Structure 1
Amino acid sequence: MQTIIGSGGTIGYPLARELKKYTNQIRLVSRNPKKVNDTDELFPLDVKNLEKISDAISGSEVVYVTIGFNYNLKVWKDTWPPFLQAVINACKTHNARLVFFDNVYMYAKSAIPYMTEDAPLDPPSKKGMVRKQLHEMIMSEVEKGHLTALIARSADFYGPDTNKSVLAETAVKNLLKGKKALAFGNINKIHTYTFTPDAGKATALLGNTPDAYNQVWHVPTTKEKLTTKQWIELIANNLGVPPRIQKVPTWMLFIMGVFIPELKEFPEMMYQNESDYIFDSSKFEKKFGIVATPPEEGVKIMVDYLVKTK
Structure 2
Amino acid sequence: MSHSKSDKEASKATEQSKENIEIPTHASPEVFITPTNSPHHSPPPSPAPHLHTLTQAQLHSPPTPDFHTPTQPQLHTIRSRAIANQNQRPMFVNMQQQDIVQDRKYDTFFSRPTCQFGAIVLEEDDLIPTKVFLECAEVLLPFFDALSPTAFASVKADIAVNIKKALHKYEEDPTRYTTLQVMMTHEIETGRAGAGSATESLLWLKRGMEFIYLFLAELARGETALDVAAWKAYSNSLSRHHYWFVRRIFGLATMAIPYHLDFMVLLGSDRSDESVQQVIQDMGIFAQNLREICVILDQFLVRKNIETKS
Q: Please, what TM-score do these two structures have when normalized by structure 2?
A: 0.30
Higher relative contact order (CA 8 A, sep 6+): 2
Q: Please, what TM-score do these two structures have when normalized by structure 1?
A: 0.30
Structure with the larger strand share: 1
